[in-house]
Amino acid sequence: MLTGTERSRNIPLSCLHEIHRLVGAHPRPVTALHVGEPYIRMPEEAVEGYCRALRDGHTAYLGARGLGALHEALAERLEDNGKPSPDRVFVTPGSCQAISAILQSIAVDGGEVILSELHWPMHFQQVTMTGMTTRFAPFGDGRSVTEALDACASDRVVAILVNSPGNPSGQVWTEAELREVHAWAVRRRVLVISDEAYEDFVFDGEPCRMANLDLELPPEDRVVFSVHTFSKGHSMTGCRLGYATAPNDDRAALLTRVQEATLVAPSTPVQYAGLAALGATAHLTEHHAYVRGTRDAVVDLLGDKLVHLAPAGGWYVLVDLGAFTGDTYLFSKQVLADIDVGIAPGRGFLPEGHPTADRLVRLTLCAERESTLDGVRRLTAYL
């Protein structure tokens, strides 16, 4: 047998998963500020859509790209975000799988993908899984977006992954910043993956409409894959339903090959649930308002000294504990052991050895408000 290092061995383990496991094994109930699991339950319309699909016998395989009626409805939802034709929309089992499949469809040997220094660990893991490597752009350190991209440019870069609103940063990119990313990518013939999982939770600023920037180009020159999910706005985390659009027919054909080789098809009844969820617009308004209210209260409780970046969107706030510890990974374990509060250490969200990695922790804003505030009060008292 050929020996060598399996690609899977290179996937970095995320310390988020370790905290998750520790919380699972904790002997007492835990106030969970370390994970994004929404308090607001999925819309009743979606529950009904799922049950009806089962009762009506919609249990057979569909094609790898998903249910036609859902493509049409999603293309309509994205009318103001890239105007994709339904045949460039892919329904996926969660948006994680969409990102993974897109990366596989664009991977080339020796290729590199640019991520923000502050990033969601799964993005890094997924790039590694394809055999490509990551370059980290120092966005937000005072340089312009173009300068940050220039600082990590190479001839091997095949894509930039942008996540707005960001996990864990809570940052919302301005249209001017998105334009800089897009112009840089087009100039260098690099693709863009726009992860818009938290698009329904923009509190300050404008939602990301990266794919609109592509409309100024002929189809063959378009660069933006845009990625969305039912997990966040529609609270359907466990249903595993996401979707993505490809920039043109060629990219769509390659992504179809990956999905056909991987999936067979996304769950049929879950897609009917998604179709029904799209009609539940009041749910999105309610959910947005709830998380926004929690954000305001949590940011208020923490105060300027502890909030690392004021979250303009998304489900999380980054807290700077540099005045209290030089190792937030150990500190997170200690907080769990001593006061039964789960918090996510910053180490997983930054490149190894980054100077702020051991100062930061991430707290969630999407859980039940009173228990979240109680957890934050206990944490600040502990500090």
**Could you list the residues that contact ligand PLP (CB under 6 A)?**
36, 94-96, 120, 163, 167, 195, 197, 229, 231, 237, 242
Q: Which residue's CB atom is positioned nearest to ligand PLP?
A: 94
**Pick 36 or 247: Cβ nearer ligand PLP:** 36
CB of 166 to ligand PLP, least distance (A): 7
Q: How far apart are CA 383 and CA 373, in angstroms?
A: 15
**Pick 36 or 207: Cβ nearer ligand PLP:** 36
**Pick 329 or 349: Cβ nearer ligand PLP:** 349
Closest C-alpha among 99, 267, 77 to residue 167: 99
**Pick 186 or 197: Cβ nearer ligand PLP:** 197
**Pick 120 or 184: Cβ nearer ligand PLP:** 120
CB of 343 to ligand PLP, least distance (A): 16
CB of 92 to ligand PLP, least distance (A): 8
**Pick 197 or 307: Cβ nearer ligand PLP:** 197
CB of 39 to ligand PLP, least distance (A): 15
Give the Cβ contact number of residue 55 at 10 Å: 10
Sign of the CA dihedral running 211, 365, 308, 204: positive
Check residue 140 and give left, alpha or beta (phi > 0: left; psi -120 to 50: alpha).
left
Spatial strand order in the sheet of 316-320:
307-309, 316-320, 360-364, 344-345
CA dihedral 150, 107, 267, 238 (to 10 degrees): -40
Q: How many CA atoms lie within 13 A of 207 on its CB side?
A: 17
Q: How far apart are CA 208 and CA 228, in angstroms?
A: 11
CB of 55 to ligand PLP, least distance (A): 26
Q: Which residues in 309-329 are b (16+ Cβ under 10 Å) and which e?
A: bebbbbbbbbbbbeeebeebb
**Pick 70 or 186: Cβ nearer ligand PLP:** 70
**Pick 171 or 229: Cβ nearer ligand PLP:** 229
Q: Is the preceding omega at residue 165 within 30 degrees of 0, hence cis?
A: yes
CB of 211 to ligand PLP, least distance (A): 16
CB of 94 to ligand PLP, least distance (A): 3
Check residue 79 and give left, alpha or beta (phi > 0: left; psi -120 to 50: alpha).
alpha
Closest C-alpha among 349, 367, 373 to residue 166: 349
Q: How far apart are CA 49 and CA 70, in angstroms?
A: 13
CB of 243 to ligand PLP, least distance (A): 9
